Amino acid sequence: MGRSAPFLRRLRVTDYRSIASCDVAFTPLLVLLGPNGAGKSNVVDALLFLADALRSTPADAATSRGGLDEILRRSAEPTDRFSVHLDIAVELNGEPTPVEYGFTLGRDSTGQRPVVVHEERCVIRGREGQEITTGFTLRDGLIVDGGKIERDRLYLPLAATQGEYAEVYRSLRAMLFYHLNVDRMRQIEHVGFGKRLGYSGERLGAVLGELAQEHPVFKARIDDYLNAIVPEAVGVDQRVIDSYSTVELRTREGERPFGPEAISVGTLHAAGVLTALFQPAVLEGQATLVTIEEPETALHPAAAGALFDALTEASEHVQVLITTQSADLLDRDDFDPASVRVVAMSGGVTKIGEIDEVSRRLVEDGRTTLGELMRGGQLQPEESA
């Protein structure tokens, strides 16, 4: 069940919303740390845009975000395109194989299409970055070395019908993203098969039911972590009423479980986070990355330690990316500062980088914690060389 190597190695983004340019190296558990409004969500959304564009089309992905004007970075010198590029490791023939994939999208100079693909590139390399095994480059609808497609389409979904591209395509689509919404999680849904939790927490009850049947050990882990986060909670389960499904909470003192409307915001949000981390899609190797925005939402600061332990354990099964502005979550001595990227806003532009050298030394020497530095406003991204 554990991953032999992190799936996502590197993310490069240009001119996407508040991001002029960023180059982020990834670890098995990576924390994007910064205040509200710094641009953490824009980093995640650039990654999600790539996944959405592959699932549907670039135009659909842009439309769901309000159109290209809402995506392109606004600056004194307007740009007409943006880019998202990834370095990933894909399991091919039982080995983690380096792959580079990304694209540059932008305006159509003819005005006929909402979005066009200026360039798309995929390179599948040999072991340890040796000679190129295979790859393609697409420029303005023309495939280098032959063929063409519509200028508003990506080529990878077509290439995925054959050979090694199929696993690249599957792996990129297997990234899971979560911005949990408690109101959405309270809704009653038709009973269904639940391998994957929805973006806002949809199908929570069904996923918990699937876990209880197929992975009872990890269902028990969720209950244990929930109890550590919310001491009065014993566990969270699926509740089935006729052909409908929802959730219920077992407590120490209650004779009957609480239904979804009676579960507190913090408890239900925590249950959603834990389920996202240990859902069947993760345990069965169907997910390559789990991204959760603000997992500490509505939790008491004392619960931060248990939440962080859950994130750490989950990262042994799947790569985990979170955004947070919580100093409490990182207020511990054993957290590696190399797994944090500080996100800050400067002059309307998002800056992202590793912890500055002075702060890193203070943490590594045990003289302070990341949480203490954040409370004091002392965390800044390291300036690029």
Q: Is 115 domain-assigned?
A: yes
Distance of CA 363 to the CA centre of its chain: 26
Shared domain check, 205 and 104: no
Shared domain check, 60 and 139: yes
Shared domain check, 73 and 95: yes
User: What's the mean pLDDT in 308-316?
Assistant: 96
Q: Is 107 domain-assigned?
A: yes
- Boundaries of domain holding 375: 1-174+290-298+320-385
Q: How high is the mean pLDDT of the chain?
A: 92
Shared domain check, 157 and 139: yes
Can you tell me the distance from the alpha carbon of 181 to that of 199, in angstroms, rounded to the nearest whole number?
9
pLDDT digits 0-9 by tens, 324-355: 999 999 888 888 889 999 999 999 999 999 99
Shared domain check, 119 and 205: no
pLDDT of residue 178: 98
Print burial letters for 137-159: b (CB count within 10 Å at least 16), e (below 16).
ebeebebeeeeeeebbbbbbbeb
Last residue of a domain, one of 236, 265, 287: 287
Q: Is 304 domain-assigned?
A: no
pLDDT of residue 3: 52
> What confidence category does residue 128 fall into, taking pLDDT thresholds of 50, 70 and 90?
low
pLDDT of residue 137 exceeding 90, the answer is: yes
Last residue of a domain, one of 287, 310, 333: 287
Can you tell me the distance from the alpha carbon of 11 to that of 46, in angstroms, rounded to the nearest whole number?
9
Whole-number CA gyration radius for the chain: 22
Shared domain check, 165 and 26: yes
Shared domain check, 160 and 221: no
pLDDT of residue 134: 87
Closest residue by Cα to residue 165 from 188, 185, 192, 135? 135
| Residue 141 amino acid letter | G
Token output for 214 = 């197929």
pLDDT digits 0-9 by tens, 220-276: 999 999 999 999 999 999 999 999 999 999 998 767 899 999 999 999 999 999 999
> What confidence category does residue 283 fall into, taking pLDDT thresholds of 50, 70 and 90?
very high
Shared domain check, 211 and 170: no
pLDDT of residue 5 exceeding 80, the answer is: no
> What confidence category does residue 127 fall into, taking pLDDT thresholds of 50, 70 and 90?
low
Residue of higher predicted confidence among 76 and 310 = 310
Q: What percent of the chain has pLDDT over 70?
A: 96
Q: What are phi and psi of 43, to 5 degrees?
A: -65, -50
Token output for 58 = 């670039």
Answer yes or no: are the C-beta atoms of 11 and 325 closer than 8 Å.
Answer: no
Shared domain check, 118 and 73: yes
- Decide: helix, strand or coil at residue 132: strand
> What confidence category does residue 160 fall into, taking pLDDT thresholds of 50, 70 and 90?
very high
pLDDT of residue 125: 86
Can you tell me the distance from the alpha carbon of 384 to that of 109, in angstroms, rounded to the nearest whole number?
34
Distance of CA 318 to the CA centre of its chain: 11
pLDDT of residue 78: 81
> What confidence category does residue 131 fall into, taking pLDDT thresholds of 50, 70 and 90?
low
Which helix or strand (DSSP H or E) is residue 242 part of?
Answer: none
Q: Is 315 domain-assigned?
A: no
Shared domain check, 195 and 150: no
Which helix or strand (DSSP H or E) is residue 320 part of?
Answer: strand 319-324
Can you tell me the distance from the alpha carbon of 275 to that of 211, in angstroms, rounded to the nearest whole number?
9
Q: Is 113 domain-assigned?
A: yes
pLDDT of residue 130 exceeding 70, the answer is: no
Last residue of a domain, one of 264, 287, 310: 287
CATH of the domain at 98: 3.40.50.300
pLDDT digits 0-9 by tens, 44-56: 999 999 999 999 9
Q: Is 307 domain-assigned?
A: no
The total number of structural domains that make up the chain: 2
Q: Which of 138-147, 162-171, 279-288 has the lowest mean pLDDT?
A: 138-147
Residue of higher predicted confidence among 382 and 70 = 70
Q: Which long-range contacts (CB under 8 A, 24 or more apart) does 257-261 make?
A: 260/185, 260/186, 260/187, 260/188, 261/186
Shared domain check, 183 and 135: no
Token output for 186 = 């309270």
Q: Is 306 domain-assigned?
A: no
pLDDT of residue 83: 98
Q: Is 169 domain-assigned?
A: yes
- Averaging pLDDT over each range in 9-18, 106-115, 159-168, 349-358, which range is the top one? 9-18
Pinpoint the alpha helices (H) of the chain.
Answer: 40-55, 58-63, 68-71, 156-159, 165-173, 182-186, 204-214, 216-229, 265-278, 280-283, 304-314, 357-364, 370-375
pLDDT of residue 379: 86
pLDDT of residue 24 exceeding 90, the answer is: yes
Shared domain check, 151 and 76: yes
pLDDT digits 0-9 by tens, 81-96: 999 999 999 988 888 8
User: What's the mean pLDDT in 33-47?
Assistant: 96
pLDDT of residue 166 exceeding 80, the answer is: yes
Residue listed under structure tokens 């929570």: 204
Can you tell me the distance from the alpha carbon of 170 to that of 335, in angstroms, rounded to the nearest whole number?
32
pLDDT of residue 126 exceeding 80, the answer is: no
